[in-house]
Amino acid sequence: METPLLSDWIVIGAGITGLRAALTLAKTAEVALITKEEASESNTHYAQGGIAVAMGGAEDVELHAQDTIHAGDGLVFERAAHLLVEEGPARIAELLAWGTNFDREGDGLGSLMRTREGAHSLPRILHANGDATGKEIGRALLQCAQHESHIHLYERLTTRDLVVRDGRVVGVHALDAAGKPLLFVARGVLLASGGAGQVYSDTTNPLVATGDGIAMAYRAGAEVSDMEFYQFHPTALSVPGAPRFLLSEALRGEGAVLRNHRGERFMERYHPMAELAPRDVVARAIMHEGVGERPGEALPVYLDMRHVTGKDLHARFPGISSCLHSYGLDLARDLIPVRPAAHYLMGGVRTDLFGRTTLPGLYAAGEVACTGVHGANRLASNSLLEGLVFGARAAETMLKEGSHGEAPIAAEKATAAVEEISLPAPEASRVSALRERLRSLMWLHAGLLRDHLGLSALESELHNMRHELPPATTRENAELCNLHTVAELIVASALARRESRGAHARTDFPQHDPGCAKHSRMVRGQIDFIDFY
């Protein structure tokens, strides 16, 4: 029997969303903040380009909203988009007050520097330390959280499943680094656990991004939405043996162009905004240019900044420059080989605009959630802003709803431990092999380009794989089970959407279907299409 750890609220994830939410919750409540690695290890930490925000008044805000809606390819929930951009400036003001050091003009004491990225109508991207924006925001928020006595940080814990009693989420089962089971009990749970990029073999996401929050919520009975829309970042480093290191969209915002194996600049043929077109357009253009005439032949595609003068590229992009240097490459001197990689999930646990899911006691915000704010394709650098805005909104809702609810859930109400499956644990090598097989199959059949034949074959493979899944008694086993759940959700949603829209491209249904301009919804194995709230 697990000894329960009691708190007022549980927040799963210590990226920008979880930290921002915890700071609000801690004003009047005790918060258990759970993270799978050290608190600094999250997708937030790896966000390079910056954070989009309109700080120039009402006209600027409306332009930001329209850019967000346009990038989302007909599926953006417009109320969510307007909330995002309208509340963004206040959230940035908070970050500045909390000591976030955004880059400034001149000697560092001038106005905030802004750059432009794909599908933005004007420069509105704030950045920090050149290309380490997420890391700097995370540093400032974590420093604030560490000075807050009501926030109790639990690092290196793997969450396994939500605890549901009488139809309400009241806690979470977890494992510590040694595999010891832990039970957390509270008024409710906020999922701020990020995305699931590790479901694909090629991804810019860190190893922790295994879709844990989405999988746990779905198994508990929550609705998920828009899982077919996975954004593939166009420009990840493509060097044999190297990880798919993100080469920020800000490079193209500062003048980088894309060239094919013949040295031709090609993006003008695909979109009037050329290299600054929406990400889904650029990613598919790179893939098309990289396909040779012979079956299986892959041709190189390059990012080129050699013509950009008058800027110190190493100072502007220190992190990227350092990474490239380790592979003998230089932004100012070389063509940089690139290819798309899985980057961001537009779908997730379906919520309203206050972070409420369809399960009482369960809230979600950030990449793990789906408010409809990104539609079928996220606008560049809106993700960090989403974490701030909707993390704060969810926390405020939790405090409001918790203040007139029952007292902190009695421990005995939730102490019934999940029965352990009494099966022999498989060897780690077999678990690892299953994980890599799943990721490779997802990249092949549910990646940038999809069709019925490939998706159906993958659906059968995933069904058969269920019988090979291990009990979730270790971190590696739990992650594999969660990746499998996420993969099934993506594939089922992709099969159901018989059109191409945003990040979802079906070669057998290459056009928009006006009748499909709705959001997919899945719950307990059933899928349908709905308008959002």
What average pLDDT does the chain have?
Answer: 92
Same domain membership, residue 360 and residue 336 = no
Domain count, the chain: 3
Give the type of residue at 64: H
pLDDT band at 533 (very low <50, low <70, confident <90, very high): low
| 522 has a pLDDT exceeding 80 | yes
Section 2-28 average pLDDT: 94
Give the pLDDT confidence of 226-260 residue by residue, as tens digits. 999 999 999 999 999 888 899 988 899 899 999 99
| 421 has a pLDDT exceeding 70 | no
pLDDT of residue 297: 77
CATH number at residue 83: 3.50.50.60
| 414 has a pLDDT exceeding 70 | no
The pairing of beta strand 526-530 with beta strand 519-523: antiparallel
- Answer whether residue 466 is part of any domain: yes
| Dist. CA 218–CA 227, nearest whole Å | 12
Section 143-170 average pLDDT: 96
pLDDT of residue 119: 86
- Answer whether residue 264 is part of any domain: yes
Same domain membership, residue 64 and residue 203 = yes
pLDDT band at 417 (very low <50, low <70, confident <90, very high): very low
pLDDT band at 106 (very low <50, low <70, confident <90, very high): confident
Same domain membership, residue 247 and residue 194 = no
Q: Which of 359, 381, 410 is the last residue of a domain?
A: 410
Give the pLDDT confidence of 382-406 residue by residue, as tens digits. 999 999 999 999 999 999 998 544 5
Same domain membership, residue 179 and residue 135 = yes
Same domain membership, residue 97 and residue 240 = no
CATH number at residue 329: 3.90.700.10
How far from the centroid of its chain's Cα atoms is residue 78's Cα?
20
| 409 has a pLDDT exceeding 80 | no
Same domain membership, residue 480 and residue 355 = no
Structural domain of residue 335, as residue ranges?
Answer: 235-340
pLDDT of residue 291: 85
| Candidates 139, 187, 252, 279; catalytic one | 279
Same domain membership, residue 250 and residue 129 = no
Enter the DSSP assignment of 515.
G
Section 170-187 average pLDDT: 95
The two tokens of residue 448 are 């940038």
pLDDT of residue 43: 62
Q: In this prediction, what percent of the chain has a pLDDT beyond 70?
A: 93
Question: Which residue would you say has higher pLDDT here, 166 or 130?
Answer: 166
pLDDT of residue 404: 47
The pTM (predicted TM-score) of the whole model is 0.93
Question: Which residue would you say has higher pLDDT here, 512 or 407?
Answer: 512
Same domain membership, residue 464 and residue 356 = no
| Dist. CA 298–CA 277, nearest whole Å | 23
Give the type of residue at 518: K
pLDDT of residue 419: 42
3-state secondary structure 385-440: HHHHHHHHHHHHHHHHHHHCCCCCCCHHHCCCCCCCCCCCCCCHHHHHHHHHHHHH
Same domain membership, residue 401 and residue 371 = yes
pLDDT of residue 411: 47
| 7 has a pLDDT exceeding 90 | yes
| Dist. CA 173–CA 219, nearest whole Å | 13
- Answer whether residue 190 is part of any domain: yes
C-alpha angle 461/467/473, rounded to 5°?
Answer: 120
The two tokens of residue 288 are 């098309």
Closest of 275, 245, 239 to residue 258, by C-alpha: 275
| 45 has a pLDDT exceeding 70 | no
Section 275-285 average pLDDT: 93
Same domain membership, residue 136 and residue 153 = yes
CATH number at residue 455: 1.20.58.100
Burial of 406 (0-12, 13-18, 19+ CB in 10 A): exposed
Cβ 25 vs Cβ 189: under 8 Å: no
3 state DSSP class of 100: coil
Same domain membership, residue 393 and residue 331 = no
Cβ 301 vs Cβ 400: under 8 Å: no
End-to-end CA separation in angstroms for the chain: 41
| 44 has a pLDDT exceeding 80 | no
pLDDT of residue 108: 61
- Answer whether residue 390 is part of any domain: yes
Give the pLDDT confidence of 317-372 residue by residue, as tens digits. 999 999 999 999 999 999 999 999 999 999 999 999 999 999 999 999 999 999 99
pLDDT of residue 510: 96
| Dist. CA 383–CA 387, nearest whole Å | 6
116 is catalytic: no
pLDDT of residue 107: 65
Same domain membership, residue 401 and residue 503 = no
Section 487-493 average pLDDT: 98
